[in-house]
Amino acid sequence: MGTRADLAAELFGTVGRFRRQVRRSAGPAIGTGLPESQAELLRLIGRRPGISVREAATELGLAPNTASTLVSRLCADGLLDRTVDPDDRRVGRLALTESSQRIADESRAARRAALAAALDRLDADAIDHLTEGLAVLATLTELLREEVS
């Protein structure tokens, strides 16, 4: 492969192409037509209903005020509900609206089906390598998170 810079460039390219292709293979998804930052926030909330604004910001690597701005926009557009945590009124809890949740569930199922079909075409060695690679990606993610903290 070459240098670590080459590896970094290849990693960005491969992960980006992978994410885009999974979305394309699954068809229209939640957030279609929205800026990627808003769509990414909706996807996170779809996976973790009840997440706080602060937790969502941390998970996505956003400044809290940026996450708050995104939440306000999505609430105004009727895609997101923000409620006050009953145990701590300073905390806002997030959930998709009913229509957004339905779209999220459908798009998640379509993405998983598309990916499962492709995974079924890999042999056992490739699955083992992929599993090992995912562990390395998880470690890289944690190292990057530590650098930001």
pLDDT tens by residue, 49-104: 999 999 999 999 899 899 999 999 999 999 999 999 889 988 889 999 998 888 77
Give residue-wise pLDDT tens across range 128-145: 999 999 999 999 989 988
Q: How far apart are CA 115 and CA 22, in angstroms?
A: 7
Task: Give the other-Cβ count within 10 Å of 31's Cβ.
Answer: 23
Percentage helix, strand, coil for the chain under 3-state DSSP, each rounded to 5 = 70, 10, 20
Structural domain count of the chain = 1
Range(s) of the domain holding residue 112: 4-148
What CATH number corresponds to the domain at position 51? Answer: 1.10.10.10
